[in-house]
Chain A
Amino acid sequence: MQRRTLLAVVPAALVAAGTAGCSSGSSDGPVTLRFLSLAWQKESIAANKKLVAEWNKKNPKIQVKYVQGSWDNVHDQLVTAFEGGDAPDVIHDESPDIAGFAAQNYLQDLTDLLPSALKNDISAQSWDTVKFAGGGIYGVPFLQESQIFVANRKLLQQAKVRIPTVDAPWTWDEYAEVCRKLTVKGKQYGVAWPLSAPVNKVLNLSLNFDGTFFGTSGGKTTVHVGDNEKQVLRRIHDQLWVDHSADPATVGMKGADPLPAFFAGKYAMVPAGVYFRQQVVQGAPKGFDWVTIPPLKGTSQHQGATSQTLSIPADGKNQKQAMQFISFLLNGPNQATLALGDWLVPTSKEAAKDPRLTTTKDDWNVATASQQNLVVAPYLKVDGFDEWKTKVATPAMQQYFNNKISLDALATKLVKDGNEVLKRYQK
């Protein structure tokens, strides 16, 4: 909120105090950093706490206070903290969210703070997911998620379909065929698509067919939905309403909702992020044999990627120390630990070589290999994407996947209503 014209009760002095000494980090006296972490899995919380304790022992002058937040509320928490000039020193978030905060100048451009070791260890593709507002770097990317399928191996074997590998993945056509084979009317579906939040999933997968959904010309970004963009949409819709190889009952579900029926053998496959393996390991009945299906291939295996990130606020008083802590937390071995804790893929090249992340146990090898298919998601760079997603794309795609509107009607909505929304951000 604008401070100069704020009510008399909030004097400018307050703000001055908040910004003074910003980006100086000059004092070498003991400091305490607040680290807002969003880890929530048991193993992940334990890993974070352990690493923080280790750091605090080694660095008596830079003490880190571990503060646990939650994904559902972190955005609201940060908006208020930024507006009030009181943000944590190290912020755990994800690239779609920090894109907005970067555009609002709340986050520090880390380009000059980054130590080269950290910079070189993280893949270029990952850095792309945190570059906003004129090429600045607004977070250190550390965990990524690629889209895979978790399948019931027994059902696949019974249907005598080829189980794909990293080197020989399924194409979308082959996958559709397999799903038809795996469908037993009234008893079993080939796949269960949980689509209550369809947009990111569809957009990430559409890169399989070079579907980007957004184009920029003359500094103006617009939505476009052509044949490439329609591919994944149509293919999922066909499974639901033409092939009947996907259960329409799961269209309103999210996350782990289809799991009970998956475990009961009602679905042969569930599409999900790599983290989903954890849910499967934890919930599967004894003797349940599952397998991770690597990313499907369209014209390519490319998928849109976003990252979990650590950022530093622009008004942070101890930016140098914060960066020292981040470099420690995200070095190769530590990233491997964090990736294991969250069942995600690390951005660190060194971490990706960790034997724990390349073992065939729980298909870690498939998960880690899938990182090579990730390219930066185009929508990350679109100002106003969030509003387009909430107001236009989500309801329209829900209607489409519930078979209420046609693909052409969907395309028209996405483009026409969508461009209206985007205009607001290009004034």
Chain B
Amino acid sequence: MTAATATLAANAKPVRRKGFEPAVLGLVAPALLPVLVLSVAPLLYGIYLGFTDARAGRNMPVHVTGFANYVELFGDADFWGSFRIGLVWAVGVTVLQFAAALGLALLLNQKLRGRWLARTLTLVPWAMPPVVVGLMWRLVYHPQAGILNSTLKDLHLISSNVDWLNSFTLALPAVIAVGVWAGMPQTTITLLAGLQAVPGELTEAATVDGASTWQRFRAVTWPALRPVVTAITALDFIWNINQFGLVYVLTQGGPGGQTRLPMLFAYEEAFRYGFFGYAASLGVAIVLVVLVVLAFYLRRMLKEAV
């Protein structure tokens, strides 16, 4: 390992492989095949639906309507209203989640006593079946018999009960808190795994050089962690924008539509009202916006991939 460190210290130039190796195909194909069969085909079909007037119904005729759905979609104020809420939700959850998870991952990466237990407990939100998660949080937020209000009152932080999920101002922050909670394990574990992969020799070498904790983090940890950070925040953002089940259980989109996420909107279009064509176009619109955001966010990473 000393050789490796030495080479690294000498700042070896990255060797770039050119050309195409058949071996690569052998390694990649098994993973891509199921994805292609079971997700590309349905996706293409979904995109096609967006250009039709498909509706739920036995032997229902379908006509290709070109961009009619998209024209309608542009004028759909309800949808864009929910889109705005969706962005607040997705960005809010992703950013808070990342900040909180990074802190926790750094703590868990230290030599603290009982950290295996701490690491295990970190997984709780994720290990709990989604069926009960929403119900549990409803109980926690219950304005009268909820453990949150009773705890806050015991701590004298509030004097009267707060109706978290029915407040026009607090409902969205309250569900964002649940969103952060629910996604913490994924983000934390991912970041922790990234931290563990930072070669200890590097940190030690930097410590010997007399670097402070913050300097070490900036110079050694962060650069090694960055690809993981990019990967997980991008995924978190996507997952959050696609999320609606959890929020639906908590508020059903209320009060007064304050927590109505765009994917809930599209889901209801398809499954409740049966407008498959229009729902598909809503889905595609959401995807396009997300892709633009991501392309901007990931441009550097994708450039490196070539």
Q: Mark A377-396, 1 if CB is under 8 A from B, else 0.
A: 00000001011001100111
Q: Measured between C-beta atoms, what is the minimum distance from B60 to chain A in Å?
A: 6
Bound: A391/B252 CA distance, A: 11
Interface residues of A in 295-347 (CB under 8 A from B): 314-315
Q: What 0/1 readout, one digit per residue, does chain B (19-57) give for beta carbons within 8 Å of chain A?
A: 000000000000000000000010011000100101111
Instruction: List which B93-140 residues lie within 8 A (CB) of chain A.
Output: none
Q: Is the CB of B273 within 8 A of A2?
A: no
**Are B276 and A1 in touch, CB under 8 angstroms?**
yes
Q: How large is the interface on A (under 10, 10 to 19, 20 to 34, 35 or more residues)?
A: 35 or more
Whole-angstrom CA separation of A103 from B54 in the bound complex: 15
* Contact indicator A252/B274 (Cβ below 8 Å): no
Q: Is B158 an interface residue (CB 8 A)?
A: no
Q: Which of A380-425 contact B (CB under 8 A)?
A: 384, 386-387, 390-391, 394-396, 398-399, 402, 404
**Contact at A104–B166, with CB atoms within 8 Å?**
no
Interface mask (A1-29 → B, CB under 8 Å = 1, otherwise 0): 11111110100000000000000000000
Given contacts A196-B252, A252-B254, contact A257 B58 (CB under 8 A): no
User: B204 interface residue, CB < 8 Å from A?
Assistant: no
B216 within 8 A of A: no
Known contacts A5-B62, A75-B272, A104-B274: A395-B254 contact under CB 8 Å: yes
| Chain B positions within 8 Å of A9 at CB level | 41
Q: Which residue of B lies closest to A402 (CB)?
A: B255
Residue of B at shortest CB range from A315?
B58
Can you list 7 residue pairs at the A/B interface with Cβ under 8 Å? Answer: A1-B54, A6-B45, A105-B57, A253-B143, A386-B272, A391-B78, A402-B166
Q: What residues of chain A have their CB less than 8 Å away from a CB belonging to chain B?
A: 1-7, 9, 75-76, 79, 82-83, 100, 103-106, 196-197, 249-253, 257-258, 260-261, 266, 314-315, 384, 386-387, 390-391, 394-396, 398-399, 402, 404
> Using a CB–CB distance below 8 Å, which chain B residues touch chain A?
41, 44-45, 49, 52, 54-62, 78, 142-145, 161, 163, 165-168, 251-257, 260, 268, 271-274, 276
- Additional 18 contacts, C-beta under 8 A, given A249-B143, A252-B165: A1-B49, A1-B56, A1-B276, A3-B59, A4-B62, A6-B45, A82-B56, A104-B55, A196-B166, A196-B255, A249-B161, A257-B142, A260-B144, A384-B273, A386-B272, A394-B252, A402-B166, A402-B168
